[in-house]
Structure 1
Amino acid sequence: MYQIKKLILISGLATLLTGCLLPQQQVQFQSDIQSLDQRLRSIEQRPIQQTTPLLDNNQLTTIRHQQANLKAEMDSLRVDVQTLAGRFEDQQHSIQQLRDELTLAQNDLSLQVSTLENRAASNSPPPPATNSTPPVIQAPVIKTPTVVQTAASVIKQPIVTTQSTTSTADELYQRALQLVQQSGDFGQSRNLFKQFIHQYPTHDLTVNAMYWIGETYYGDKQYESAILQFQDVIQKYPEHQKIPAALMKQGLAFYALGDTNNGQVILQKVISNYPKSPEAQKAQIRLSTWQ
């Protein structure tokens, strides 16, 4: 009877261990424990049914036989509990290994991004003057007296208004977008997007322009520059709707450089953090082809 109570206590402790398992593992583990509990109850009830004092040799032989069977079943239950405990330890070890691998992959990704940033900062030439200053429209030179030219310039200056500035921003953005989407002129499109960001840093489309600069680098197969550009978008605007797309393209850029591990980590992040986004479905398809 003591052994039965001890075994029940062990099964109870095993039940507490299920709280540390994953949901699908908990279902299997709890099912095994319930099965063990039912067997223990049936075994515990058997001696109660045989408490009638019988001294007949046949009945004593039957009782001894039942006791032997009871001991065998208890030994079997003890083995089952030990097996479950071993399975639990193996699962915990596997989970810890996965966590360690993910941590190493994330650290490696951060190190590579920092390396790319340092390399870009040390090797990239200063941006051309045409990218840092807006283009100046030269007025036609008219050979007239100086006084007449000055008067003409004074008359033309008040034409620029706020409405015309907004229209120019939208037109500039659309022109750059058409170059990258329709013409495939990534270099010229990138220059126009940079000009847009310089002239309209607070515009609603500024984040989109930063993202498309990364796309132009990716289109030109400048994958390291693309990774850095997408990282700039992710760090500065972590809540923007373009973040899933930026992560997706960053992962593809790592894959294009031959770094499949970091590419997989980033695409898994897209799936886990943005499961309802279109990029999550694309990431799942990509990962299935990388395996």
Structure 2
Amino acid sequence: MMKTRRFLFIPVILLSACASQNDMSYVQGEVSQLKQESQVIKQQSAGSYSEITQYREEVASLRGTVDQLQYDYRASMKRLDMEDSLLVRKTNDFESRIARIEQYLGIESDGTGKSLPPRVMPPPPASSTSGSAPGNAADQPKGPSSGAMQGANSPATGEALINEGLIKMKKLDFAGARDNFTAFMTGNPKSPKVADAQFYLAETYYNEKWYEKAILEYQVVIARYTKSLKRPAALYKQGLSFTRIGDEANAKARFKDVVNLYPQSPEAKLAQKSLEKK
């Protein structure tokens, strides 16, 4: 009987052993699966960490860019403020200089802040007689021989002064050229070449880019020597001078004066081209 019971326990033991092995296999499978899942999670975590690190670097780069942009913006604003201040000063300076020129030329304002162009008188009709101006005889010395000698010598001396002044202009010696032209006008006030000397005097300032002074000197030719052949050129060059200082209203007025008063002159063609560009 006892032997029979022992044999009955053997299958139970074998079954228990089989169950334990199955449990172990199951557990090992679960552990293996957990290891795989853990490995996957680690890989995903590593990828996420890499992405986060990249995002941090990009954010840092963006912050640096924003800081640089802010710095550049502040620097640009400072520079613009300085440039604006300089422009205001230059504008005020130009306005004061133009006002002085307008006052000298007798230019009036139309009440809106814009200057009315100066009125230019047309050239007088050509005289049929070519004698000397009235009163010239009274101004001549009483001695006939002395007057003849003065009339013979003065033009030659004057022409030499003008020619020498033109040579100095070509050599860019504008101050020396002005001395020559001024000396000629002082020594030969009634010479027909005075208008030429005055025009060349204005040209020296124009070539030096002292346009305000050139405007004033051209105006002397325009207003005083109305019969001079240099008057159309003086009008045109005065218009160019106004353009150089940014006074387009007076520049257009001068170009129109050339076209209207001297339509057949070479300067009229140049003035018309200048008007077409504006």
TM-score normalised per structure 2: 0.46
